[in-house]
Structure 1
Amino acid sequence: MDKLEYQDSTKTENVHVVDRIKLLYPNVNEEETPLPRSWSPTDKCNSIYVHNFRVHYKGVGKSHNDAASVRTAHPVPAACGLYYFEVKIISKGRDGYMGIGLTAQNFKANRLPGWDKGSYGYHGDDGNSFCSSGNGQPYGPTFTTGDIIGCGVNLVENTCFYTKNGHHLGIAFRDLPVRKTKLYPTVGLQTPGEIVDANFGQEPFKFDIEDMLKELRASTKASIYNFPVPDDQGDWTSILHKMVSSYLVHHGFSSTAEAFAKSTGQTFNEDLASIKTRQKILKLVLSGRMGHAIDQTIRSYPNLLESNQNLLFMLKCRQFVEMVNGCDFDNDSARDSPLTQTSSVIQSTKTYQNGSTTTTQQQQNSNLVISDPNNDNLEHQSFKNNLSLQSHDKDQNNKNVNNGSSGVNNINIQELNQINSYNNSNDQYLVVAAMDNTNESNSSDVEMENGHNNSMNGFKNGSSNKTHNIIDGDEEMDVDGSPVCIKSTNKSGVERMLEFGRELFQMSQRLERENGINEANQKMLEDAFSLLAYSNPWASPLGWQLCPSRRETICAALNSAILESMNYSWRPPLEINIAHASELLRLMSNSNLGACAFVTVDDMLHEEATISN
């Protein structure tokens, strides 16, 4: 029967490929504990021939000494909770001396499962079960050609059961040492002509294992709900209220925190004005206005970023990404620009390099964005190949800069192509280092109209003065949590972004000199700069950086740093408890406690929310 209820599939050219085995055991982390998916090509007797899922006996089969077994490549993970596989008897051969069951890692490949210590088997010739002994016990019916025998391991109750042709035969073994011993699905054959096929879940099972999984899932949750809480452990309601209150304060939900505190009689240490200040900064980050967020952070917490340069570097890298995304420029100027129809930084540069901001229909067609990632990769490669062809223009471009051309540095396509070859250069920081040489004398700080210096360590944020005046005032700042990002750039925006990239690179070099190599910072910078290698960065292999959800990590890091600077916890107790529960589930899996397979923290939270509603 095929009653899988999970929806986890990949689509390839209109064909849905479903990993049925993974769907059966969703809580198993196969990077740590792979599932048994196939027979082992090495852990078998020489008399056994294995081809895919088929096992064929090739021995002489004269006595018990001619028995041969094969086990799976991996043991049963505890996080399965309930593991099940089936074996179809293709041919019983001469005598049908076949055994199906489980063995420990150090099993004897020339013995049927169940005959030796650490092995358990159900044999077809007599229907007996063998529990680490050569003496069998009556268990079930015999099986022969055409029968389908299933073997299930209950890692919650430490039992093993069998099925025949979809019918449950009852528990065969109890008190399995699953906490101390890794068990492998195993098949043993003994006489010529015996052939079996295994189904580890890649095909629908004959037996309805889903009903058993549902029962175990329900019983596990019931044990959690019914767990007794001693009366001497304190007032749980008050504790939970404090956890919720601290969570709201931590994340800057000032209005909700205030209302919740009044209704529950809670108090919080941080004053309301401080919470609202943090809330403003976090909204700026989540809306992609990184330059303004950095400026407001410097004003409100003057020493925070100065003393945490890695955090500042993270914010600056995100600001560069938002510039590519079109969210960190002044929106009004972007809308007024005649280049707002241009879809990428590269195309904008191509347009104004030719001395014109208007294009013919033919030029417009050539600048159309092709969202096919493969096409982007080809363009990425073509930029790399064309770099050497355009290098001869460098001297002339430098002359244009010296002759007083407008713009920050009169950035040209040759410089942008240097960015495009960034990842494939022998010097991985060639991109901005090459551009630094053109403007070493023009890196002075920018003074703001309101008297604030919009820089930190010689680093310009590139945000407009208009917003600073709003932030400096006492009135509430209105930050749109979901702004319309201008996914295009004008000439000045491109110039500003490229200069910002130079300064970002200079900062990375300074941090490397002062603190040594930081691989995380290097990776951030590399990923951010690489966006410029594509005509349509949003459809590129690195386009994930432009997703608004990526701001959340930056937001959380900045929020935690602000709270720590005020001697508050960097993480609220509610999140700590949830993380603790998740870690306990992981430790249960490592300790072979099968109940961890039938519950997750998210499941419990969602179920509680459903019950509450």
Structure 2
Amino acid sequence: MTNPYPYSPSYRRLNQPLSTSSYASVAAGAGSQSSPARFGALSHLLHPEDDPPTRNNMSSTKQQDPWHATSYLSTKMPDQDTPPSPPLFIRPSYLRNSRHVERLETHHNLEVADFDESRRHSLPNSSPQDLSANIGSATVHRSRKSIIQDYLVRNPQRNSGPKKLPTCWSDIDKWPGLELSAGGTEVKFTGSTKTSDEAASIRSDHPMPREVGIYYFEVTVLSRGKEGLIGIGFSGPKASLNRLPGWEPESWAYHGDDGFSFSCTASGKPYGPKFAAWDVVGCGVNFETGSAFFTKNGVFLGEAFHNVRGDKLYPSVGMKKNNEHLRVNFGSDPFVYDIDSMMERQRDRVKEDINKTSVDTLDTAHDETLLIQELIAQYLAHDGYVETARAFNKEVRDERKPLYLDGDTVSLFDPSQDIHAINRQKIRAAILEGDVDKALKYTTTYYPHVLERDENKDIYFKLRCRKFIEMMCRVNDLQTTDPTPIAPKAVGKLPQKMTESNGASFDQQMELDDQLHRESHAPIIPPMPVPSPFNPEIRFGDLSKDDRMDEAPDSFRPSHSTNSESLLFDALEFGQELKEEFSSDPRPAVRKALDDTFALIAYQDARESIVGGLMEGKGRVEIAEEVNSAILVSLGKPSSAALEKVVAQAEVLVDMLSTDGGAGAFVNVRKDCLQ
């Protein structure tokens, strides 16, 4: 019997398509008249974020756990009383540095967010367009079945996302007589075989992705028959499931009754010891070398197969005797064998090969060191770090001065002579300090038409939303230091138009979100204050004329009141202004952004809420980079620095080299080169 269902679904966010850029498109760079597009590859150096990126409603403790696995979504439809849960994600410890798994986890977080949104829609009288909803009758939920169906209908294109990792045995891709338990990680044979060649096999829910370089899993023999006819290995989707893996074409396995290895044939070869009950057998595939190996109770048994080929290879096990019982570990628990060290040795070998490669031929006029220094200097100037660039240039000249006996010195770009670099630096500094009013004042004064361009209207919208977020940050910080409740009194002063347009109080939205939060068992994230951003230099020399713009009119001057109730009322008034300004924009993304932004009002400590991520400092960095890029494009300059383009080109090349499990699968540009 061939595989009737090569099951490997992976989903995709509808409004955020994931595509791979070609090398040529990245190498060409952005044109001066094109819309600004930052690669953002280096921004994390100034404001590092949690690694890997996580959403606010996920526990940072669990994300740091190398064996972290989120909740389980069965391929079977659970009964009505079972609380709905998002799809499963497992990050094996040995893949903690894998760029493919980083992308997979980011994609999974989007799935979780969409799943939560589907659950929100499933509650009575809830609407994505309202800041709050009447939940007085929200005591009876729709069944889990209808919630999952709603999720799948709303996200039909998820199958084009990153290739997923195996998480459990498939309840479809198996031979009858095999029963699953423990969330699909245990399989037991309860049937019978009629002939000596007949057996029962099963494959995992997803194939092993080549993009990880090496894939490894372990199987514990919980019980076995007297003969121990159990096979552990991997197979393609066409391998028959009524025979042990290894006996069929496109299947490879290590058998416990005789210790032989079988490669696509019923004729095996002596390989390792027999295995019995409670033995732990590991199986690994090195896609770079095309080889496979096995371990037994943490001991490496050597390579069993070479020239392993196949587009999709699934972990697979098979057994012949009744009550034989196996448990698989795809990475949710620690492994017995030290696969982490094997992976690190492989990564170190690839790094060594990279370090041996010379880049002198890339620029024959300069040596490698000077080429790197020029890239750094141009990056600092491009992003407006005027004083840092000036100090860096001076240090480079002083360092290399003894090398130029004829009096010539190395010449790097000096941004201190570029008035636009100084202006952009001031705008960036204002945003990073949270002073959006000052940033808008500088931008409209120095570059009055930049934010009016059609391609930059979204940047203006984000700046306005950021102002509201900064106002709520101040309110939140004062409220958390003074536990005296102020919300009822302040909300009583809420502008009438805002309360009427929302149709209900913000307290109801908070109750609704908290209800979803409790049901999903999401841990509460401890308060995380916005970190003081790296403040670019604010000494600009003799700029007294420009400095007078700090004395902005009242319409641009932020409130400095220390009364949290007064600050909250100011924020509500500005929120009404913001809502009216963009009420005619029909785009769902704009409405969603406004809803998320206004939801900050609903919480006593918004940093701990499900929308607390909006208050993190990285939001300032992102909008500062977008504004900086927009200004550069308006001046006819590239929106990205040369160093960022080099990083982006490296990412694309690594992608190309990792597609078939090549050396690129062991490289993570961000972790290996930028940290």
Q: TM-score, normalised by structure 1?
A: 0.68
Query: Residue 69 of structure 1: CA displacement?
Result: 0.7
Amino acid at match of 2:613: W
**Aligned match of 1:557:** 626
Which of 155, 164, 167 is the aligned partner of 2:299?
167
Letter in 1 for 2:305: F
Distance 1:170 1:595 in 2: 21
Equivalent in the alignment of 2:20? none
Answer yes or no: is the 8 Å Cα contact 2:223–2:323 preserved in 1: yes
Equivalence for 1:278: 424
How far has the Cα of 1:586 moved from its partner?
4.0
1:186–1:309 Cα change, 3 Å: closer
CA distance in 2, matches of 1:147, 1:495: 66
Whether the aligned pair in 2 keeps the contact of 1:82 and 1:594 (CA below 8 Å) is: no
Q: Matches of 1:520 and 1:297 in 2, distance apart?
A: 25
- Conservation of the 8 A alpha-carbon contact between 1:86 and 1:198: yes
Task: Please tell me whether the aligned partners of residues 84 and 200 of structure 1 are also in contact (alpha carbons under 8 angstroms).
Answer: yes
- Name the residue aligned to 1:112: 244
- CA separation of 1:312 and 1:166: change in aligned 2, threshold 3 A: closer
d(CA) in 1 for partners of 2:469, 2:544: 26
Question: Are 2:201 and 2:318, in contact at CA under 8 Å, matched by a contact in 1?
Answer: yes
Q: C-alpha distance in 2, partners of 1:313/1:145?
A: 63
Alpha-carbon distance in 2 for matches of 1:148, 1:498? 61
Distance 1:417 1:496 in 2: 15
Contact 1:94–1:192 (Cα < 8 Å) also in 2: no
Q: Which residue of 1 aligns with 2:171?
A: 41
Match of 1:456 in 2: none
Please report the TM-score for the alignment, with normalisation by the length of structure 2.
0.63
Partner residue in 2 for 1:223: 353
1:507 equivalent in structure 2: 581
Higher relative contact order by CA 8 Å / sep ≥ 6: 1 or 2?
2
What corresponds to 1:316 in structure 2?
464
* In structure 2, distance between residues paired with 1:258 and 1:283: 17
2:411 corresponds to 1:265? yes
User: Residue 323 of structure 1 aligns to which amino acid in structure 2?
Assistant: M
Q: How far is the alpha carbon of 1:175 from its aligned partner?
A: 1.6
Post-superposition CA distance 1:33-55 (Å, at most 9, x none): 22222111111111323333333
- 2:376 corresponds to 1:244: yes
- Looking at CA atoms only, which structure, 1 or 2, has the larger radius of gyration? 1
Counterpart of 2:582 in 1: which secondary structure?
A: helix
Per the alignment, residue 56 of structure 1 pairs with 188
Out of 82, 90, 94, the position equivalent to 2:222 is: 90
Moved more, 222-231 or 566-575: 222-231
Aligned to 1:380: none
1:238–1:109 CA distance, 2 compared to 1 (3 A): same
1:15-66 CA distance string (max 9 Å, x none): 9984475333222225422222211111111132333333333343343442
Instruction: Report the CA distance shift for 1:533/1:139 in structure 2 as closer, same or farther (over 3 A).
Output: closer
Distance apart, 1:119 and its partner CA: 0.7
Identity rate, percent: 33
* 1:97–1:191 Cα contact (<8 Å) kept: yes
Shift of 1:274: 2.1
SS of 2:590's equivalent? helix
Query: What is the RMSD of the two structures over their aligned residues, measured on CA atoms?
Result: 3.8
Deviation (angstroms), 1:575 = 1.5
Residue equivalent to 1:573: 642
8 A contact 2:174–2:200 mirrored in 1: yes
Structure 1 residues 341, 40: CA separation in 2 closer, same or farther (over 3 Å shift)?
closer
1:502-560 alpha-carbon deviations (Å, 9 max, x no partner) = 432332145x3xxxx33332223222223233344444432332333321111111111
Change (3 A) 1:43 1:550: same
Alignment-mate amino acid for residue 22 of structure 1? P
Cα gap change, 1:207 to 1:416, in 2 (>3 Å): same
Q: Is the 8 A contact 1:47 1:58 kept in 2?
A: yes
Q: Is the 8 A contact 2:94 2:339 kept in 1?
A: no
SS at match of 1:305: coil
Distance between the aligned counterparts of 1:303 and 1:534, measured in 2?
Answer: 37
Give the partner amino acid of 1:276: I
Q: 1:548 aligns with which of 607, 617, 622?
A: 617
Residue 524 in structure 1 maps to residue 665 in structure 2: no
Q: After the TM superposition, which residues 120-519 of structure 1 pair with which residues of structure 2 at under 5 Å, given as runs?
A: 120-177=252-309, 180-229=310-359, 231=361, 234=364, 235=366, 236-262=368-394, 263=397, 264-267=410-413, 271-307=417-453, 308-326=456-474, 346=487, 349=490, 412=494, 414=496, 417-418=499-500, 421=503, 473-475=545-547, 488-489=563-564, 491=566, 496-509=570-583, 512=585, 517-519=586-588
CA shift digits 1:62-118 (9 cap, x unpaired): 434421111111111224332222223333314322211110122210111112221
Match of 1:455 in 2: none
Gap change, CA 1:343 and 1:226, over 3 Å in 2: farther
Structure 2 gap ranges (5+): 1-50, 70-89, 109-161, 398-409, 508-541, 552-557
Shift in Å, 1:582: 3.0
